[in-house]
Amino acid sequence: MRRFRRLRPAPGGQTLVETALVLPIFLLVVCGIIVLGIGLFYQQEITTVARETARYAAIHSASSDCPVGGWLPPAPNAVPPGAGAWDCDSAAAGWPNMNDRARDFAFGLDPSLVFVTACWSGYIDQSSAPGSYPGIYDAGPRWVNDPTGEARNTWSDCTMSGGIYPLTDPDSLPCPASTSYGDDTASNLAVSDSELAVAANRVVVYACYNWTPPLAGFLLIPDTVVLRAVFSEGLQHQR
């Protein structure tokens, strides 16, 4: 009687099949981790850009030698003698000095694609006399005409790109974000109340970057990721 032996698959062929099944999943996980790590690093970079730019604008308030200016001029006679023009680094010119400062912290990113914009927030004084202009900006936290000192002025946050609040809704801001006259609710004046010496006004800086990840469009990696960061800083008096 003829005997038949059962043929067993070669071990190498089994390994090749298992590798073909597992390798794509393994590469997907590894590439995803690498891209995620790079993205987190660049997000931290943009956060640093926003923080350092806000610090720069806060120090270069209306009382500095070359202030970073918004769209609203400081209250009349509020800028101390010897200070530079309140809009030396002006919003109308696109803040060249502030942008240069921001791009110094964009390590590993294309500096030309790092965008920053700013707006200024402060108190609005509603205690003006009848017939005068209501809603005076660059006010302190208290009503000037209140003899008790108990009444408070209204804090007003600035907006960007047509009414978007950067501190509460940064994801709605485009990149780059545009600013227009009327977004600011205060000037770059640091001390808004000369009697109380209150640093009432704040600058808000929005930084963003349109990042194209490695292997974009492959393995479910998006073509573009918008990295955003917002930081606010109280303005500082320099004289």
Q: What is the pLDDT, as a whole number, of residue 181?
A: 60
Domain range annotation of the chain:
16-234
Closest CA to 199 of 166, 233, 235, 175: 235
Judged against a pLDDT cut of 90, whether residue 2 lies above it is answered with: no
Q: What is the pLDDT, as a whole number, of residue 148?
A: 61
Nearest 10 degrees: Cα torsion 54, 60, 62, 68: -70
- For residue 207, the cross-strand partners are 116, 229
- For residue 206, the cross-strand partners are 117, 230
Q: What is the pLDDT, as a whole number, of residue 96?
A: 94
When the pLDDT of each residue in the chain is averaged and rounded to a whole number, the result is 82
What is the amino acid identity at position 138? D
* 64-91 tens-digit pLDDT: 999 999 999 998 777 878 788 899 999 9
Lowest mean pLDDT among 32-36, 57-61, 168-172, 226-230: 32-36
* 11-59 tens-digit pLDDT: 556 677 766 677 777 777 777 788 888 889 999 999 999 999 999 999 9
Judged against a pLDDT cut of 80, whether residue 233 lies above it is answered with: yes
The first and second tokens of residue 223, run together, are 């073509």
Question: What is the band of 130 on the pLDDT scale with cuts at 50, 70, 90?
Answer: very low
Closest CA to 92 of 68, 111, 65, 115: 68
Q: What is the pLDDT, as a whole number, of residue 207?
A: 96
* 95-117 tens-digit pLDDT: 999 999 999 998 888 998 999 99
Q: For residues 139 and 169, which has the higher predicted lDDT (pLDDT)?
A: 169
Question: What is the band of 8 on the pLDDT scale with cuts at 50, 70, 90?
Answer: low
Q: What is the pLDDT, as a whole number, of residue 205?
A: 96
The first and second tokens of residue 69, run together, are 């200016």
Lowest mean pLDDT among 109-123, 126-140, 203-217, 219-233: 126-140
Closest CA to 219 of 15, 44, 36: 36
Q: What spatial distance separates the first Cα and last Cα of the chain, rounded to whole Å? A: 111
